Structure 1
């Protein structure tokens, strides 16, 4: 078979093409050695492509669930902290109110009412706690405050019971306001909705913050504090004021168990979430290993091939340089 020599232009083109191919192969092998993963995954996986895709899909879902779980964990922790603060206020104020005697001076009575007003305001502030722009105790209506302001509520309650003449009238009127007005009138009371805020934290598992500002326990705390907060604003005698303050204090003490139960519900959600996050982390590790086993190359073979291509490319450059240096004068010598 006759050999047809290449022209100078043809040889130049062939050299360029060989150079490009070797550099591309060098880049692929370098990436494979660095990552340990095959460049041509379909060829590497073969019939195991569906298994690899399933691992990838589940890993993506785990990442999504883990992110949602992390955010929910932050919100639950903030809710637990707010409830702890509420419980502290309840305990402190109840002790002060229960100690007020029928013979207390007006200064003492007003001090008790003022403590209740401050506690009421702090409770409202806790109920309107926001984390990342999300109100915790408003249910799924988390873009706005959970309740109206403390001043608005106390003013509305005073107006509602304006005709009260006895301690029982005040108690019954405030109870009616919290039963009928607070849950239904966002201008004066609860501004959230009746759906609990929650998140999907795994395929068949979700966790909710099932405590809202309209929870019966929370409303009872507000009711007791409101009773004490307006005790010195109704024109009642000192004895009647003391009765209102004492009954409010008794109510706050009684609500200790209810608030403990509410906090336990949040704690159970935290526990469920923590267990789920642990399971997801373990599954992520297991699936990640399985996925990498499917996609990985033999790093020793890849490194050997890389060295061979590197040597070949170096030789190619050396020959190209020598050919470029050839001249007719040097040839004739």
Structure 2
């Protein structure tokens, strides 16, 4: 009978080689257990990475859109809040000025002008709102607050109204100055005439909000508030009956401006809704892409756990054999 055997050195090398192989398998299976994906991606995909790379690009693009929708949400929410503040000031001032027609009027002309001055401050402050370091109503000049102070506006408008003695002339002069490119737009507005570019919130959807502080609705409200604030100015020296007539007409126009401001808020609200819908769709698309990617390279947790247990048992068995071999000697064999 022929006996085949290997020497002690060869046996030791064989055991060490097998031990290294088993440890490598344990590392691979441990990685797959912890990450949930196979370590040998090339083997799983048969060397064809095209589908996986396409999914990775889609996920990266959707991550970028997630940032874009977050910025758009911040921008539209801030714009909605500022327009709400602006509209509330218009409503308060309109109600105050129209109260001059009621029998129980107790507000004096001076008090009405002071309120108009305060509300004008609030309106300008609302339009000078910044979010994320960007001005909302400055067009493409987002680093600049769009409007000068109320003091600057009233001083410039006062010069245009000096010497006028009828409500019609006063209101026409104010309207002309606000509409004149060398008037309000040049003296008070510091932003850019070019509106912001549409915000890309998904693959095929953009949100466009071309509202600046020169919007006709906003300018009309500021114009009427400014005239009301100047109505009791001593330098203009307008008669009480003229002031009352102005306050009544301005109150009616401000009520109309309030309705127009509501339309602007509705426009921004529609943009907010579109941003939310885009964010929801993007999140769903990302979840789908991530699921598809995981399906391509996912490791079965149950199979991996079973294989890991088997390999660990093999390693333990190998250690036992190694120990037994280490204890072999001629003396022990002859006993």
TM-score of the aligned structures, taking structure 1 as reference length:
0.86
The offset of 1:324, in angstroms, is 5.8
CA–CA distance in structure 1, aligned partners of residues 144 and 31 of structure 2: 50
Match of 2:260 among 244, 247, 258: 258
Alignment match, 2:293: 291
Q: Does 1:55 align with 2:58?
A: no
Q: Secondary structure at the match of 1:99?
A: helix
Shifted more, 243-252 versus 282-291: the winner is 282-291
Alignment match, 1:313: 315
8 Å contact kept, 2:113–2:228:
yes
Q: Does 1:235 align with 2:237?
A: yes
Q: Secondary structure at the match of 2:237?
A: coil
Q: Secondary structure at the match of 2:208?
A: strand
CA–CA distance in structure 2, aligned partners of residues 102 and 308 of structure 1: 93
Segments of structure 1 that go 5 or more residues without pairing to the other structure are: none
The offset of 1:319, in angstroms, is 4.4
CA–CA distance in structure 2, aligned partners of residues 285 and 103 of structure 1: 65
Segments of structure 2 that go 5 or more residues without pairing to the other structure are: none
Alignment match, 1:184: 185
Q: Which consecutive segments of 4 or more residues in structure 1 shift more than 6 A?
A: 1-4, 10-14, 102-107, 325-333
TM-score of the aligned structures, taking structure 2 as reference length:
0.86
Alignment match, 1:269: 271
Alignment match, 2:44: 44
The offset of 1:115, in angstroms, is 0.8
CA–CA distance in structure 2, aligned partners of residues 324 and 162 of structure 1: 112
Alignment match, 2:280: 278
Q: Deviations over 1:226-284 (max 9, x none)?
A: 11111111221111222222222111012233212211211221222222222222222
Shifted more, 323-332 versus 47-56: the winner is 323-332
Q: Does 1:209 align with 2:209?
A: yes
Q: Deviations over 1:13-35 (max 9, x none)?
A: 76665544433321221121233
Alignment match, 1:73: 73
The offset of 1:215, in angstroms, is 0.8
